[in-house]
Structure 1
Amino acid sequence: MAAAAAAAAAALKLSPYSDLQPQCQREFKPTKGQPFISSPTPLLPPRKLRRCSYKCCLPPSSSTNSITPTQYFSFLDESFRGSRVLTNEDLEKLKALESFVYPQQLESGSLWVRVMRTEEMDVTVGLLALSFAESMFMSLQYEALLRFFVKQYLMERRASMPHAVTLVGFYREEGGERGEELAGTVEICFDKRGANASPPTPTAPKNSPYICNMTVTKELRRRGIGWHLLKASEELISRMTSSKEVYLHCRMIDEAPFNMYIKAGYNVIQTDSIFILLTLQRRKHLMCKKLPVSSSFSESDMSESGEELLS
């Protein structure tokens, strides 16, 4: 087991940029009280988990905004322990994350995208772990080990809110009997405080928004879900930051995702040197898009999106 752990850890460290290709399709019922609205750069190696909490410590000021610690705790939970000073701007952004919902009516059903909640972490971990195992050609016997690393990573990313966030998408098929199910996930880093310490190459500007770790449940691909995860990410970036340049990576071998990003307005600004192959990594494009004041996407482009995942 020690050898297996070492091998998995080495794989995570040496090849942190492979595609996430989900294998699972699990039924998931959203949190009670959240109504259903009908209207992949790969995992980065987890750093040492910082036990940051979101316990509110308001800065001394005679003028505080309308966001209160009570409202703040309604979004986060007891798993965040320790201490952290939150500015009024942080509190405003946390409130914006709490209220963010991106609904979309697809041809085959309904989708909504929002911030991952604590009770949804395990099912999200399962999707990412299986996807990562497939992309690394690892045996599913390592699933438990991968789940451990992925969960540590997601816990750390959640601890970095509101500077980074994990979004989840839920899907309900029209007239289906399965109910709501997890359809995909995507991660957003808004600024350098939310950036990962070990970014992929070519390196994106740390203080610019960055989209990564997108994956769609295998059985639900080619329905426009990946496209709308991307669109939801861009919409949230527009709300959360004044920066209009957003970055992502795409592996050179991934033609379908690459075509989707080109249609979405992304351009290649840099490509890995061939020498990156010596580190057992795939060559990648760094792509960038300048967000307009209000983003718009055509339905025809959406329906043509390929594998619907980031690389």
Structure 2
Amino acid sequence: MAATASLSFSLDPHRHLFSNPHFTPSTSLPIPKHPLRFFHNSNRYTLKSSSSSSTSTTPTSSFLEAPLRTGRFLSNEDLDKLKTLENFSYYQELESGSMWVRVMRSEELDITVGLLAESFAESMLLPSAYVALLGFLVKQYLMERRELMPHTATLIGFYRKHRDEGKDESFEGKGESFEGKGESFEEKDGGFGGEDEDGILAGTVEVCFDKKGANASTPTPTPPKNSPYISNMAVKKSLRRRGIGWHLLKASEELISQMSSSREAYLHCRMIDAAPFNMYTKAGYNVVKTDSILILLTLQRRKHLMYKRLPVLTSFSVSETLCSEDDENHY
């Protein structure tokens, strides 16, 4: 099974970031002797509400920080969309646990970089020494993409396993919101900041909503720049086959429905990645176009461009079914 459902990075020596479908290893690229640590080792993140510290920034300022740093003018529509990104959450019960998806915040950049760099290196069969270098490049990419909000967003998913088989204490079952408790999850037994395996970063995916958020170097086959585009999906290796990739995809579609007037969603899938292709097909995506065999001359893998017309959703964060951990088509 491939490490990622869809990775849309390639090394651009002129901009020092990833923007194309796949990174092609080069013999001229040095393997670092003593790789620097560009991201945290930990794959955990302790979720704290804004009221837990008098010096912490509010979620609104966190989402405004990157766009305003560029000096970009934000219209009222942009501000409304940033508020939508700030409030977006997707919750799902799985057979072995539960997961929660929301938009990545600035303080979660490093753990997201770590997951993407490791998954990308695994997908491309690169030596582990490359991971630190990839981490540096991925970080530059994510920082630049973050400045384009609300036209694009990076989603992250956290996974919490059930404490007892067949018994789980659901977040929603308590009748209270995540943000409204005025206390950190670290202080709650079994929260995402717990000392056991609960609450680890499980996956990430990037969503582009319109032309303003489109990548400068578009992967081939080229999707319409003004249509929503899903890319860079990665699932932590130890948590695959739990339906996490499936629900990252569903969360992306739900966010597109809230952020874009277009119902046409596109994504790429490499021809060699059978599991992601089966997952996308099951989710309703169809192949629009496939790379010519000549793309192999550029040392890239052939890819499918896939398309789905999203239904109009009247309610959000409501899942139809539980995902089976034994389903090979799910990540």
Same fold, judged at TM 0.5 (above): yes
Contact 1:208–1:243 under 8 Å retained in 2: yes
The corresponding residue for 2:126 is 138
Q: Is residue 185 from structure 1 mapped to residue 204 from structure 2 by the alignment?
A: yes
* Partner SS, residue 140 of structure 1: coil
Shift of 1:72: 3.9
Q: For the structure 1 residues 219 and 78, does the alpha-carbon distance in structure 2 shift closer, same or farther, using more than 3 Å as the test?
A: same
Match for residue 94 of structure 1 among 78, 82, 93: 82
- Amino acid of the structure 2 residue aligned with 1:206: K
The corresponding residue for 1:207 is 226
Shift of 1:26: 4.5
Shift of 1:306: 2.9
Give me the whole-angstrom Cα distance separating, in 2, the residues matched to 1:81 and 1:15: 25
Give me the whole-angstrom Cα distance separating, in 2, the residues matched to 1:219 and 1:83: 41
Match for residue 230 of structure 1 among 240, 249, 263: 249
Give me the whole-angstrom Cα distance separating, in 1, the residues matched to 2:207 and 2:66: 23
Q: Is residue 217 from structure 1 mapped to residue 236 from structure 2 by the alignment?
A: yes
Give me the whole-angstrom Cα distance separating, in 1, the residues matched to 2:154 and 2:285: 21
Cα deviation code 1:162-181 (max 9, x no counterpart) = 00000000011111832311
Contact 1:8–1:146 under 8 Å retained in 2: no
Shift of 1:207: 0.2
Number of residue pairs matched by the alignment: 264
The corresponding residue for 1:55 is none
Deviating runs (4+, > 3 A) in structure 1? 7-16, 24-27, 74-80, 295-303
Q: Percent identity?
A: 63
- Amino acid of the structure 1 residue aligned with 2:242: R
Match for residue 290 of structure 1 among 301, 309, 316: 309
Shift of 1:82: 4.0
> What 5-or-longer segments of structure 1 have no aligned partner?
1-6, 35-69
Cα deviation code 1:242-292 (max 9, x no counterpart) = 100100011111111111111100000101100000010111110000001
Contact 1:272–1:284 under 8 Å retained in 2: yes
Match for residue 31 of structure 1 among 44, 47, 67: 47
* Partner SS, residue 196 of structure 1: coil
Q: For 1:102-141, list aligned pairs within 5 A.
A: 102-141=90-129
Give me the whole-angstrom Cα distance separating, in 2, the residues matched to 1:79 and 1:87: 12
Q: Provide TM-score, normalisation by structure 1.
A: 0.77
Aligned-residue RMSD, C-alpha:
3.0
Q: For the structure 1 residues 118 and 185, does the alpha-carbon distance in structure 2 shift closer, same or farther, using more than 3 Å as the test?
A: same
Q: For the structure 1 residues 212 and 183, does the alpha-carbon distance in structure 2 shift closer, same or farther, using more than 3 Å as the test?
A: same
Q: Provide TM-score, normalisation by structure 2.
A: 0.73
* Partner SS, residue 78 of structure 2: helix
